[in-house]
Chain A
Amino acid sequence: MTRLTAHINLRLIGRAILWAALLTGVFMTVFPFFWSLLMATHDRTTMFSSGLNLSLGDQLIANYARLLDTMDFWVGMLNSFSVSIIGTIASLLFCSMCGYALAVYQFRGRNVLFGMMICSMMLPPILTLIPYYMVIDAIGLTNTHLAVWLPFSINPFGIFLIRQYVVASVPRDLLEAAKLDGASAFRTYWSVVLPLLRPGLATLAIVQFVFLWNNFLQPLVVLTSSEKMVITQMLRSVQGIPNTPWGALMLGTFISILPLVGIYMAASRQMISGLTSGAVKN
């Protein structure tokens, strides 16, 4: 009997340690976001008072005004939205076309293209940054959003993903039937295959949207005028100015992560499996 209670006690202690460890992790993860929101309600005077201050300030509205003074915040947000949405749609189209062709057709050069895709995934992004800039400059795309999303619209990961989806979920018989009914190749792709690929396309859309929204390096290099800049760039660029209005900047940072966090809250399961699908499905 006593051995049994000792056993139960031990189990309880184990459970307690387990939960303590797990909840500490949650606290560490969420705290910076919470803190940035808190700072968004303070101005420089209350922020710089030393001593732990976890109370809400009353500067939220003033900080919002300051934020709009320091940068064209909503222009940046709109630019980020435009780059991410258009870029995602383009990549859905291009990746599904290529993935479909790789899955269904036998053609000369297929293996070469396949090999190139694998190699291109290994290239460090910074390696091609200089020629990327040159190409953009040469074809007159500096300061356009097209320059930021176009190179990523043929994401090799996305092409692989779609290829796997076609192999797994598009029956060959269906393609044969469509052909017998006289549907053209493009028609078959568009009205027979694409609807079947919906889950794969959703995964790709998530990966691509998150990447484009958070991307910094390429916009930094090609978007130079302030009316074209995306939000990550704008936030970074005011970091160096003297007397940086940190409260306002934290407010801007917090708002800039809200769209993704919002989508994440609504569809966390799909987002987690989508963003790790490259890693765990190998």
Chain B
Amino acid sequence: MSTNLETPVSAPANSAAERDNAPADRWRTLWHKSTPYWFMSPYILIFGIFGIFPVFFMIFLSFHTWNPVAGLGSMEFVGLENYALSLTDPTLWQTLKNTILMALYSGVPQHLVALPMAYLLVQLGKRARHWLTTAYFLPYVTSTIAVSMIFFVMFSKESGIINQALTGLANGTLTGWAFGWINDLMPIGWVQENSLIRYSVSFVVFWKYVGFNIVIYTTGLATISDDLYEAAIMDGANAVQRFFYIALPLLRPFIFFGVTLTIIGNMNLFDEPYVLTRGLQQASTNGMTISNYLYRVAWEWLDMGGAAAISWILFVVIGAFTGFYFWFFGRRGLGGD
């Protein structure tokens, strides 16, 4: 009923209102135009505070000395001194070397194991594949801290399962003749010895992320059409040849992406060495990554300026590594474009 009454009246009334309420109308168009910004406002606000400001502040901070306990007033301009000190700091180079070595020790086996495992997995039926994938992926879901704590206990000198199993092998009636020599090495300090810590940390990282890569590669292998395999079988290619000549080349984009993630993740390694090198006798010389060192400089030595300089050095190193990797493998990795 109301619509019947309103329809004839509304048209002229509207145009009259348009003339009279021009500012209100402008407000409305402004409101309409601003709509996307309202939707974006959480991002703009939070990213401004926690993303943009920090980056610029880090540039600023890296040219100053500052002890956060003494307040903002204690900030002093020192020019490039932080960079000079960091770049001549032997510990920084040591931790950088540790980071790169552990990235290699944990990263390379990850992919060398994940690729054939994924290839084996896709040979199975759907159900079996699902159950096995579920098992392999489990470590990725659990926290690095929890996992590192478990491995810290497994690596322990006396009560650790690894040393216990090795002792068992060395003294067993059947295996003693072959593994007797292990007794001379006991007890092995997996997380106490500087010569072993990198391997121990790398193993935990490997163990945690190999399942993630297996899933990426099984997804990749599922995109390869069965016709290709069948044609290869007709040509007399066996399973190993099919892996090397069909699966591997077609997986290239997936390998490229998986390796990129591994490089970035491993260069930022923090949690695992943080837990594994905090035993009673520390093996931190060879086990500390550059991120761990940065944390120590900033929060234990309270040298924020120095830590800021180290952050930028780390940033440049990661950028250089990924840049080199993209430049060197990118074209081939992304399939020729």
Contact = CB atoms under 8 A, between A and B. Distances in A.
B285 interface: no
Interface stretch (A57-65, A129-137, A168-176, A197-205): A129-137
Nearest to B33: A107
A100 B219 CA distance: 28
Given A235-B146, A256-B143, A268-B137, A50 B219 contact: no
Contact of A246 (B54, B55, B159, B207): B159
A28 B167 CA distance: 19
Contacts of A123: 51, 55, 315
Interface string A113-148: 100100010111111111111110100000000000
A51 B164 contact: yes
B311 A130 contact: yes
Q: Is the interface of A mostly helix, strand, loop or mixed?
A: helix
A216 to B, nearest CB: 5
Interface stretch (A1-9, A67-75, A149-157): A149-157
Interface residue range, chain B? 35 or more
B174 interface: no
Contacts of A39: 153
A280 B123 contact: no
Interface stretch (B1-9, B34-42, B79-87, B89-97): B34-42
A280 B256 CA distance: 11
B261 A279 contact: yes
A264 B57 CA distance: 40
A32 B149 contact: no
B103 interface: no
Nearest to A47: B159
Contacts of A94: 42-43, 46
A253 B32 CA distance: 52
A131 B152 contact: no
Interface in B20-74: 32-33, 35-40, 42-44, 46-47, 49-55, 57-58, 61, 68
A51 B257 CA distance: 44
Contact of A22 (B46, B132, B142, B156): B132
Given A29-B139, A50-B167, A135 B50 contact: yes
Given A30-B135, A50-B158, A129-B298, A246 B153 contact: yes
Contact of A261 (B49, B142, B163, B264): B142
Contacts of B271: 216-217
Nearest to A14: B239
Contacts of A279: 212, 216, 257-258, 261
Interface string A64-105: 000000000000000000000000000001100110111011
Given A29-B207, A36-B153, A48 B68 contact: no
A25 interface: yes
Contact of A272 (B61, B133, B139): B133
A249 to B, nearest CB: 7
B314 interface: yes
Contacts of A257: 142-143, 146
B141 A134 contact: no
Interface string A242-273: 10001001100100110011001000110110
Given A26-B136, A97-B39, A282-B257, A253 B146 contact: yes
A269 B130 contact: yes
Given A154-B43, A272-B137, A280-B220, A35 B154 contact: yes
Contact of B149 (A132, A159, A239): A239
Interface of A: 14, 18, 21-22, 25-26, 28-30, 32-33, 35-36, 39, 47-48, 50-53, 93-94, 97-98, 100-102, 104-105, 107, 110, 113, 116, 120, 122-135, 137, 150-151, 153-154, 159, 185-186, 189, 210, 213-214, 216-217, 221, 232, 235-236, 239-240, 242, 246, 249-250, 253, 256-257, 260-261, 264, 268-269, 271-272, 275-276, 279-280, 282
Interface of B: 32-33, 35-40, 42-44, 46-47, 49-55, 57-58, 61, 68, 117, 120-121, 123-124, 130, 132-147, 149-154, 156, 158-159, 161, 163-165, 167-168, 207, 211-212, 215-216, 219-220, 239, 254, 257-258, 261, 264, 267-268, 270-271, 274-275, 278, 280, 291, 294-295, 298-299, 304, 307-308, 311-312, 314-315, 318
16 contacts: A29-B211, A52-B165, A102-B40, A116-B52, A123-B51, A124-B267, A124-B291, A125-B268, A130-B54, A150-B50, A151-B46, A235-B149, A249-B153, A260-B142, A275-B212, A280-B220
